[in-house]
């Protein structure tokens, strides 16, 4: 396993007038990491869809699977469904785009921590606030 751990603990005043801080970020590169996702996230609630559910081995009691016609959309009804089923203090999206947006917003609204297990490296939502 190759891991990059960086905690910058820096903040800066932005041109928007706000002070922004850089959060603790851990990035893990490991072949077949999806086979043991629970090793990375202790007691997490996972958000998956029909496609990503087939990739990972998560605890069924702590997994919320959203369904959509072809693709799950980042709609408020999906955020509310996810919020109503969160079973821990850590919410993890397994996927990209919409799933990450849904989990991130649901975690924010419910005061939970958020992390992600990305399945597409091209998405910029992993590092956005």
pLDDT on residue 103: 94
Q: What pairs with residue 45 in β-bridges?
A: 91
Q: Which of 35, 71, 65, 72 is nearest to 47 (CA)?
A: 65
pLDDT on residue 46: 95
Structure tokens at 68: 């959509």
- Looking at domain 31-118, does it have CATH number 3.40.50.1970? yes
Residues of the chain with pLDDT under 70: 1-9, 23-24, 69, 123-129
Domains of the chain, residue spans = 31-118
Structure tokens at 66: 């959203």
pLDDT on residue 123: 62
Task: Outline where 1-129 has alpha helix (H).
Answer: 76-85, 97-110
- Phi and psi angles of residue 13, each rounded to the nearest 5 degrees, phi first: -85, 125
pLDDT on residue 49: 93
pLDDT on residue 5: 37
pLDDT on residue 7: 41
Structure tokens at 10: 């820096």
């Amino acid at each position: 396993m190759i891991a990059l751990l960086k905690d910058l603990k820096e903040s800066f005043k932005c041109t928007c007038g706000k002070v922004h801080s850089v959060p603790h970020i851990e990035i893990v590169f490991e072949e077949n990491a999806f086979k043991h996702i629970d090793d990375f996230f202790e007691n997490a609630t996972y958000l998956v869809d029909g496609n990503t559910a087939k990739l990972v081995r998560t605890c069924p009691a702590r997994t919320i699977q959203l369904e959509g016609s072809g693709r799950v959309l980042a709609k408020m009804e999906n955020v509310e469904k996810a919020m109503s089923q969160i079973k821990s203090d850590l919410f993890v999206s397994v996927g990209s785009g919409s799933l990450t947006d849904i989990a991130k917003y649901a975690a924010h609204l419910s005061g939970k921590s958020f992390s992600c297990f990305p399945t597409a490296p091209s998405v910029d939502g992993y590092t956005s606030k």
